[in-house]
């Protein structure tokens, strides 16, 4: 059974099958650090699963707003035109918490906070906490990971 493990401290995402590590990726979690509270901009910890997989047929660098493709393809010109956008690119894996009171329901609900694993511009550094709460990945890495997992895949986010 496939499992994703995210390490906030190491800024890595690992895909495993049982005890066997299949792949490790450099990622970027929240600039605000770990945390579960609504509107905190923090990356939630604990046991999660992939609730939905969005954008399976989208081209690399496709731009998403509100989980919908805008029809735009990310470029430096587009970035210059919209300097304050939090770019969500290529694919989205929408997470849902499994721990009631910790990352599910009420003021700590990961799904209601719209926390994703998603692509980001290649100009953004990996291995450095810079996101707005989501887990950012290189677009090519995200495409690879997306092809290996499915909705329901277990995701553990730990400090």
**Domain spans, the chain:** 2-158
CA dist 24 → 7, 12, 88 (Å) = 11, 7, 21
Rounded mean pLDDT for each run of 10 residues along the chain, 159 residues in total? 97 97 98 97 98 98 97 97 95 98 98 98 96 97 98 98
Q: What is the per-residue pLDDT for 53?
A: 98
Percentage helix, strand, coil, to 5, in the chain? 10, 45, 45
Please state, in angstroms and rounded to a whole number, the distance separating the CA atoms of residues 152 and 144.
17
Q: How far apart are CA 19 and CA 108, in angstroms?
A: 30
For domain 2-158, which CATH number applies: 3.40.50.2300, 1.10.3720.10, 1.10.10.10, 2.40.440.10?
2.40.440.10
pLDDT at residue 128, as a whole number: 97
């Amino acid at each position: 059974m496939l499992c994703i493990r995210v390490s906030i401290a190491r800024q890595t995402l690992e895909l495993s099958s049982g005890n066997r590590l299949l792949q490790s990726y450099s990622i970027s979690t929240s600039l605000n650090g770990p945390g579960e509270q609504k509107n905190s901009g923090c990356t939630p910890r604990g046991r999660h699963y992939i609730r939905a997989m969005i954008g399976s047929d989208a081209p690399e660098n496709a731009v998403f707003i509100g989980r919908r493709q805008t029809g735009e393809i990310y470029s430096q010109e587009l970035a210059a035109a919209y300097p304050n956008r939090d770019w969500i690119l290529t694919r989205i894996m929408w997470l849902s918490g499994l721990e009631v009171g910790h990352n599910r329901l009420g003021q700590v609900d990961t799904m209601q906070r719209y926390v994703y694993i998603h692509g980001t511009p290649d100009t953004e550094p990996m291995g450095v906490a810079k996101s707005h709460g989501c887990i950012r990945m290189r677009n090519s890495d995200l495409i690879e990971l997306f092809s290996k997992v499915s909705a329901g895949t277990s995701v553990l986010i730990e400090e």
